[in-house]
Structure 1
Amino acid sequence: MPLETHSRVHVTQAWLLSTWHVQVPFAWLQACVKWLQ
């Protein structure tokens, strides 16, 4: 996985946690990011 995708997943994960207080699995979010690209 490219570093850009990896960091994008982490940023999205942090945003979801801080904004919506939702913790999502890394693999699930990674699959969503890959699908959107």
Structure 2
Amino acid sequence: AGVDWVEMIEPAADIIMDRTASGFCDGCDVSVASEGAGNE
């Protein structure tokens, strides 16, 4: 499960960064990803 999570979160982080940079979501997706990764 850990490996699958890493494989999912890294490409997801790239998508989230792209969306945030485009103003798709002002930090909400980043917050969710950070919590999931264990980073407050």
TM tier relative to shorter chain: 0.3 to 0.5
| Structure number, greater radius of gyration | 2
More helix by share: 1
RCO greater where, 1 or 2, for CA within 8 Å and sep 6 or more? 1
